[in-house]
Structure 1
Amino acid sequence: MNTVKRVFLWFAPDAKKGDDGRDVFGSRATFVLCAMGGAVGLGNLLRFPSVVYNNYGLQFFVPYLIALFFIALPVLILEISIGTAYRGGPVVAWHSAHKRAKGIGLGVVFNGYTVVTYYIPLLAWVMKYFRRSFQTPLPWSGQDLSEYFSNDIIANTAPSVVGSFNPDGSVVQYTQYSDTSLLGETAGWAIFTWFVTWLCMFKGVGLTGRVIYITMGLPFVLIIILIGRGTSLPNANEGIKLYFATWRTSALQSPQIWQAAFGQIFFSIGVGFGYFTSWASYCSQHSNAVQDALIIGFSNSLVEIVAAFAVFGVVGFLGLDPSDGEALGTFVTGFITYPEALAQMPGANFFAVIFFLTLFLLGLTSAFSLLEVMSTMILDTDWGNRFPRWLVTTVIAVISTLISLIYCTAFGLQALDAVDTYVNDIALFFVVWCECFAATSMYRCRDVANQVGWLGFLIYTGGFVVAQILSIGISYATRPAIGAPVGFVIFITSAIAGVYLSKTPGFPAPRFWGRNNLLNRFWWIAFYPGYQLTCDLNVVIGVGRNWNLPVYWTVIMKYISCPILAIVLSFAYPKFTKTHMYDPIMIYGFSIVHLVVPVVALGFIIPSWFNFIIPADKAARGDKPVVPLEIVDESQTMERAVGVEDGVPPHSNMGYKNDKAGVV
């Protein structure tokens, strides 16, 4: 019996404990691999090459790299930094940043959990292909792959009535689904995948730290095999030429390529799903968060750029060309195009097993990372922490399995498509916009009010938000050439009004901003929250030789990332009204993802409603003391401080420092 116990503890060791009693990763490499496991998934091997193919190759990397540096990396750094510094999942971390931001944390958890409930049924389809890969010849050889995928893998029944619109845009009739039966094999593989997912994380980061070396290491080896096979196929050079040796400047003039690039990098890295903050909360509080975020972000891009050679070799082998008008998609590439090539290859069964095993392992790492978000949220609470982790994760896994069965039915593909479309197009972009806004406008905003008054700050901040909403709305109602100038006029007007209606600050802004009264006021209302967040985080994660957060980090998030996210978010609504409004399942998907809006709003208006999720020892962190230009050190015990009186900040040793952590 002791031998069995020793073997079990070797395979699933207890997690190490930090100074505060929280579980911690055994090593930095383990954290990086777990975070990469969430980021590197099916999108890297399937979605990325599809998007590059549809946008004619090399010039796609221009908007792709812009999106990487101006949206993905800044938000990735934010999510990892707050998880590391505040030692909690998304809800605790955002509450610690501002008590009215905990609804944003709940929105992040909603995104991650909603995705994992349909992501695992998608992996069930992968396993259905995997099982069939052992048959000789491959059962889809010589068949129409689209029909094989629809009839044998998805096995969905066509709607009995297909909806349609009147010429005026109103609905003539709604789509009707007569078959709602559960598909046995799909459900069986989904239950199996849920069990494997549970096995990977039921004991916490001690077990996950062992598993991740297999679930991340093996796919890298398999991807190398697939690259070798794909690039050695006849005419593979034609596909690779399309990928890396075809330049079309004219393609950059189309908004489609920019939208595709920003969407790809956003979904590929996976910000807004919560697993970066959750995993980071199990790191040492003084981890090198900035460097880790850059390693994860660049590694994710490197994996998908290199792995795409495997797909483009197949593109050349099959003689595909985007000018033919047939676009590739994630499902098409993974379940139709690549299986078609596999059936024609020498050693078809071997490479089919390798391909679908790779997809499963890539998906598995993403699945248990997404499920960890919900587990961390519950285990962070005082009531959830009373139960052993294995019990909490078991209950979550069982409930999640039951929810996911809706995607294992005869209408499962449509349900998956509906929720996936609008989680990604609406909930994800909305929540990440809120993250950027909270970090750069809400953080320690009482300091701003203390120095310049609420009126000027609220006018400026309100104008910043209204300018984005109205410019987008007017652009759709008329045209972008009108909407964009209107937005700029509103923003500039609110900035001028905010400056002139602000009081003169008692403390000068840093550098040249403090040399002029108007510039001094403008700095306080436009830059202070983000600047102070940078200072406060740097004193925790920027210690020793760790990399500091640069001062321009939050400027990028507020004035570049936020407007871009708002624009991309707006794309989802015309798509719904023009193509999906007659389908009840699409209406369901469109409606359910909007739950994040009232959750975020309630957290802002009535933050006490969600206090039951916040542990008692961290509840006070949401009320930052009013100490303008002073460091609030999150690595020390947080206590309430007396507000600033007469413009003179208190000097205390209870978590406040005068240095600016190297950013001034």
Structure 2
Amino acid sequence: MVAILPALKKVGIWLAPPPQKSEDGRAQWPSRAAFLLAAMGGCAGMGNLIRYPSQVYNNNGLQWFIPYLMCVFLVAIPCLVLEIAIGQAYHGGSVVAFNNVNHRLKGLGSSLLYIGFIVGPYFVVNLSWIMIYFRNSFKSPLPWEGRSEEFFYQIVVANVDAIPGNKTSTSVIDYTEYPGVKLIGETVAWTAFTWFLVWVSIFRGVGLTGRVVYFTMGLPIIMTVVIVGRSVSLENAGRGMKLYFGEWHGEKLARGDIWQTAAGQVFFSTGVGFGYFSSYASYNQKHSNAVMDSILIVTSNVLFEGFAAFAAFGVIGYMGMSPVDGERIGAFTIGFLTLPTAITELPAAKFWAFALFFTLMVLGYSSAFAMLDAVVTLVMDSGIGYVAKFGFALLTGIDRWISDVALVFVVFCECAASTSLYRWRDVVGQIGLPSFITFNSSFFGGMFFGVAVTHAAGAPAGAGVGFGLFIVGTLVALFIGKTPDYEPPSNYFNRNPYISRFWYLAFYSGQQLVIDLNVIVGMGKNWNIPVVWAPLLRFISAPTLAIIFGFSYPSFNALREDPLHILGFVVAHICLLLISAGVLLPRWFDVLIPPKRRCEGKIVYAPNVVQGSLETQ
């Protein structure tokens, strides 16, 4: 027995190796490839196979790709550069990293973890449904053959029908009632099993995770290629391809929902706003190529989900489905009704069922442990409601508003706050506090009132109010500001005192963030963060997200009689409270940061001096 223990220990170390250590003692990825695969695994999930095609289907045609690609290039890539760069530079997860940007952004860092905390439990319940299908894929005939809706809603989800509510244009008469409250045994069991697998994958840190990702990324890619090949060979698959990218419905671009769904899909599929990229990047070598890594991660995800969608659209063409204006289908319809129904009509149906649900499980599994890596406590307790007999409706309500409200607002704050508050003491010291407050009040106030007026009186009026407030506030700020002691680095901004003041107000924080991060992530042959990155975040990405965020409130008005949608709406808005509390009461969040690192976000007054890294601070 004594002789066996050393052998078992060696096997355990080989299967679950302890992570490498950096100079400061922090765990480190075994290789750059391990980090990239883990990050890509967090992006490439089951949503690529089922959520993405459902969003494209609901907004069928080439017009979908306009807001989708705009969100990818104007929001996802710049924000991912931010999350990875600060996590890597400051060797900490989202709370520690944003504390280093500014000590009042600890609430923003916490809100990213909060989103993972909310999404993780229902995401794992999705995986438990997939496992039920996977178990049943070994039966002959497949148990959902000829009764796909009955099997999903009555056997898998097993939810009791809700009692609909009633409302008028001004008030709610009766709220929707959900009589089913019992837990569903098999769903509970598979959920517990999935959490166990997630724990096994991360309990030894990035040393073990770095090995697991080779399986969770490699195998699903192979299986996806096989499934896509079979799907596009189906009869009438070409009709589905036409729905995918062969039609144009330009009038849909005037509707808010296409912009909301595009932004939500980009955030869910790339993982921006969930906090795990800063966590993963904190285990990188400090001088890794953050900019190149960010572009590789987002690009690989866009290509993967664009390719994987052929599987769904081949089946859509085969089944003769067509979008109906005003009727939306959810991701669960594609994943648990459309694809399984088509499988029953294929030769070797059992094999294709096994292949589909095994691929969905492994894809979802890699995303699940990415989220849990950022939030490791209390997840099990928060997921109980999703395995009850009203769980599907609860999941739908939470998912809707986390996507439309919380994620959009959190990423908006990442874009705007990091480029407005970084090294703000330098700005105040150069042009004065009244000027600083006036400019930023007009910047944020212009977006707020512009969106509000747009919904009340129309887009032209809203744009006029928003831009007008910003321009007036900027002129006042320039008039009351001091003349800077230190000239801007560019001769263009040195022409007169007013232009110099404008440079400090509009560009200084973002430029210094670029310079200070590039000292770390842009070393050697690494790609530098470009100069245009910060203005893009502040003046393009942030206003775009503010507009998208405004669409969520009219959408909620149509569902205000449903208590689970009300709950989802409230849960999503907790992010706003966390961020506000962090700005007003930053000390409340100090408990989340190691004592020796709590003062790192209070950067001393040093205009135009490169801060660089923790060591130079």
TM-score by length of 1: 0.90
Cα deviation, residue 246, structure 1: 3.4
Secondary structure of residue in 1 paired with 2:447 = helix
CA distance in structure 2 between the partners assigned to 1:573 and 1:322 by the alignment: 25
Between the aligned partners of 2:60 and 2:517, the Cα distance in structure 1 is 42
CA distance 1:242–1:422, shift in 2 (3 Å)? closer
Give the counterpart of 1:575 among 555, 559, 563: 555
**Which residue does 1:604 correspond to in 2?**
583
**Aligned residue for 2:295?**
294
Change (3 A) 1:211 1:98: same
SS at match of 1:286: coil
**Partner Cα distance (1:542, 1:215) in 2:** 30
1:338 equivalenced with 2:339 (yes/no): yes
Counterpart of 2:347, as a letter, is: P
- Mark the CA change 1:448 to 1:470 in structure 2 (over 3 Å): closer, same or farther: same
Contact 2:48/2:269 (8 A) holds in 1 = yes
How many angstroms apart in 1 are the aligned matches of 2:405 and 2:259? 18
Instruction: Give 1:585 deviation, angstroms.
Output: 2.4
1:146 to 144, 149, 156: 149
Counterpart position of 2:283: 282
- Partner of residue 95, structure 1: 99
SS in 2 for 1:120: helix
Following the alignment from structure 2 to structure 1, what is the Cα–Cα distance between the partners of residues 565 and 255?
28
Q: 2 CA distance for matches of 1:164 and 1:62?
A: 37
Tell me: CA distance 1:593–1:64, structure 2 relative to 1, closer, same or farther (3 Å).
closer
- Quick check: 467-476 or 237-246, which moved more? 237-246
The CA distance in 2 between the partners of 1:566 and 1:421, in whole Å, is 18
Match of 2:505 among 521, 525, 530: 525
Q: Specify the code of the residue in structure 1 equivalent to 2:186.
A: E
Contact 1:447 1:626 in 2 (8 A): yes
Structure 2 match to 1:494: 473
After superposing the two structures, state which structure 1 stretch, 598-607 or 439-448, moved more.
598-607
2:29 matches 1:25: yes
Change in 2 beyond 3 A, CA 1:162/1:248: closer
Give the equivalent residue in structure 2 for 1:438: 417
* C-alpha contact 1:73 1:293 (8 A) present in aligned 2: yes
Alpha-carbon distance, 1:262 to partner: 2.9
Q: Report deviation, 1:253.
A: 5.2
Q: 1:252 to 1:474 in 2, by over 3 A?
A: closer
- Tell me how far apart the structure 2 counterparts of residues 292 and 135 of structure 1 sit (CA, whole Å): 43
Would the alpha carbon gap of residues 418 and 53 (structure 1) be closer, same or farther in structure 2, given more than 3 Å must change? closer
Q: Distance in 2 between matches of 1:365 and 1:558?
A: 32
Q: Helix, strand or coil: the match of 1:68?
A: helix
Structure 1: which 5+ residue stretches go unaligned? Answer: 376-395, 639-664
Structural mapping, 1:349-498, within 5 Å: 349-375=350-376, 396=377, 399-498=378-477
Offset at residue 326 of structure 1 (A): 5.2
2:564 aligns with 585
Deviations 1:78-101 (A, max 9, x none): 111110001000000011111111
17-26 or 178-187, which moves further after superposition? 178-187
- Report the identity percentage: 44
> 2:263 touches 2:408 (CA, 8 Å); kept in 1?
no
Pairs within 5 Å for 1:495-510: 495-510=474-489
Deviations 1:324-348 (A, max 9, x none): 8754321111001101100101111
Structure 1 CA distance for aligned equivalents of residues 262 and 183 of structure 2? 37
Amino acid in structure 2 at the alignment position of 1:20: D
* Residue pair 2:104, 2:584 contacting (<8 A) in 1 also: yes
**Which amino acid in 2 is paired with 1:536?**
D
Partner SS state of residue 620, structure 1: coil
Match of 2:50, SS state, is: helix
When residues 603 and 37 of structure 1 are mapped into structure 2, their CA distance, relative to the original with a 3 A threshold, is same
Q: 1:460 to 1:95 in 2, by over 3 A?
A: same
Contact 1:540 1:635 in 2 (8 A): no
**Cα pair 1:513 1:523 within 8 Å, conserved:** yes
Shift, 1:622, TM fit: 1.2
CA distance in 1, matches of 2:340, 2:566: 33
Is 1:12–2:16 an aligned residue pair?
Answer: yes
Shift of 1:264: 2.2
Specify the alignment match of 1:554 in structure 2: 534
CA distance in 2, matches of 1:255, 1:439: 27
SS at match of 1:360: helix
Cα distance in 2 for partners of 1:48, 1:578 equals 24
Contact 2:89/2:286, CA 8 A, preserved across alignment: yes
Measured after TM superposition, the shift of residue 250 of structure 1 is: 5.0
